[in-house]
Amino acid sequence: MLIGGEAMSDKLKVGILGATGMVGQRFNTLLDNHPWFEVTTLAASKSSAGKTYEEAVKGRWKMDTPIPEAVKNIVVKDVADVEDIAKEVDFVFSAVNMSKEEIKAIEEAYAKAETPVVSNNSAHRWTPDVPMVIPEINPEHYAVIEDQKKRLGTKRGFIAVKPNCSIQSYTPCLAAWKEFEPTKVVVSTYQAISGAGKTFKEWPEMVGNIIPLISGEEEKSEQEPLKVFGHIENGEIVKAEGPIISAQCIRVPVLNGHTATVSISFKKKPTKEELIDRLNNFKGQPQEFKLPHAPEHFIRYMEEENRPQVTLDVDYEGGMGVSIGRLREDNIFDYKFVGLSHNTLRGAAGGAVESAEMLTKLGYITKK
């Protein structure tokens, strides 16, 4: 197999920070038998350190599939032992559960220990020289890593993040429709409980319930697409001026899958057929490169009037594709539609794995 023009003799060694939580568990299942990456190190809080991974997640394994055999007997390390872990791995995925300031500090410590960090956390999303990338949409933002390395004083260490799970059900459409210049977007998201790292067993009060607040989520849903659509200037990512996005984010009794209802206006109003055509034909670099976790079709438009549905459609393209439906004209805006994406695959661990594959393909992540 060729990566960046060179044959890859053996796999890159990967560490997972925050390996015992829900996203950490998802990383372990996704990376099992990965063609390029091998999980060699698992790290979590002091309370899990010293136990085997199987012991550390006993009674709280939340995935549908069993714990991968390859990681069961790995002894969990303390995430704070940066130097020790950095010696063992080529790069790390970060899904730690700490305060924002603690996350910023620990991720920067790994980067300064010359270990690239691909993070699922929000802490560094607004650090100006940290790329926040959906690989199909803005891979050119990875170029800011060179400026970040200068700031950190590193040769190969850096931090790259992925955006919030809530934006994945509509931001790809905005990218596909860029030529028509979206101006205003009103979005309501209906978000699954796994986004809070929970199952129904752990959160019984969510059964048959709706909670009209997900702390911090509305600002993320309004602002993060603007960084994704921004540009690099003087070693920093400057966010785009528009479109103006207004969001409401609601927790609903669904395990996996964020649904969004969206109304949108354009500077150059397209036909419905043009909009559908751009969705179905949208491709990015991950598709050209055929990255292991890239969906063959990133966005699909569903003609059935009662789709997308969570139970039928959330696992489209292995949870890495986005399903759009019910596109029609709107009385106030130009059009409205419904979007669905898998919040822990495309929206979290899967998006981070695809990002790491892209960074490897582009030569930012290499063997130490």
Nearest-angstrom CA–CA distance, 124 and 135: 17
Pick the catalytic residue from 165, 173, 249, 342: 165
Grouping H, G, I as helix, E, B as strand and the rest as coil, residue 241 is: coil
Within 13 Å, how many C-alpha atoms sit on residue 234's CB side? 1
Residue with tokens 């036909």: 271
Close Cβ partners of 301 (under 8 Å, ≥ 6 residues apart): 276, 279, 280, 324, 325, 327
Complete DSSP assignment for 38-74: EEEEEEE-TTTTTSBHHHHTTT---SSSPPPHHHHTP
Nearest-angstrom CA–CA distance, 68 and 31: 9
- 342: annotated active-site residue: no
Pick the catalytic residue from 124, 258, 293, 342: 258
Q: Which letter does DSSP use for residue 357 in this model? A: H
**β-strands 182-191, 258-266: how paired?**
antiparallel
- 249: annotated active-site residue: no
Token pair belonging to 42: 């698992």
Is the CB of residue 96 less than 8 Å from the CB of residue 123?
Answer: no
Residues known to be catalytic: 165, 258
